[in-house]
Amino acid sequence: MRKTTLALALMLAVAAASAALAADPGVKLGVLRCEQVPGSGINLLIHSTVNVRCQFTSVIGGTPARYQGETGIGLGIDLNWNKTETIAFTVFGATANVASSHPLAGKYVGGRASASAGVGAGVQALVGGGSNHFTLQPLAIESARGVGVAAGLGYLYLEPAR
């Protein structure tokens, strides 16, 4: 019971922080689109992980930056079967300077929830970032195929694609 209460309190704190950040998100830099790598998922019901391939497209043009990484639920519940997902984040930052080759590399955490029955949708509110302090906020829109529900403390780790 105590762990459930702690998890719910943590999710509410993340949601409140995400809402505060959404009020002043900064400069819109572009869109990060991530797709699940088929067959890479592990689901332990209270923790899940899947590898992703992502591409960042800047609003100011230039060559899209490609990333690889991992996303999932670090603490929560994940009751999904045969799920494939695509996630699109709007990327904001305190500055429009995206001069480095992979400015979004880093770790992001926040609230995550999804539901699907054949097709489905979900939302994520992740904050964090790489050395340039970019954030993925206020929400990510997730489209999914499969059956299930998930909610909890979500995460996304990004590094340059090889």
pLDDT band at residue 4 using 50, 70 and 90 as cut-offs:
very low
Say yes or no to pLDDT of 18 above 70.
Answer: no
Tell me the residue type at 138: P
Residue 150 and residue 76 in contact, taking contact as beta carbons nearer than 8 Å: yes
Least confident of 6-15, 38-47, 77-86, 120-129: 6-15
Q: How confident is the model at residue 10 (pLDDT cuts 50, 70, 90)?
A: very low
pLDDT for 45:
84
User: Is the confidence at residue 122, as pLDDT, over 50?
Assistant: yes
Q: What is the pTM of this model?
A: 0.75
Question: Of all residues in the chain, what percent carry a pLDDT higher than 90?
Answer: 24
Give the CB-side neighbour count of residue 64, counting CA atoms within 13 A: 13
For residue 71, the cross-strand partners are: 50, 156
pLDDT digits (tens, 9 = 90+) for 62-109: 788 999 999 999 999 988 877 778 888 888 776 555 556 777 888 988
Q: DSSP assignment of 39-99, as one string?
A: T--EE-SS-EEEEEEEEEEETT-SPPEEEEEEEEEEEEEEEEEEEEEEEEEEEEESSS---
Mean pLDDT of the chain: 76
Task: State the pLDDT at residue 33.
Answer: 92
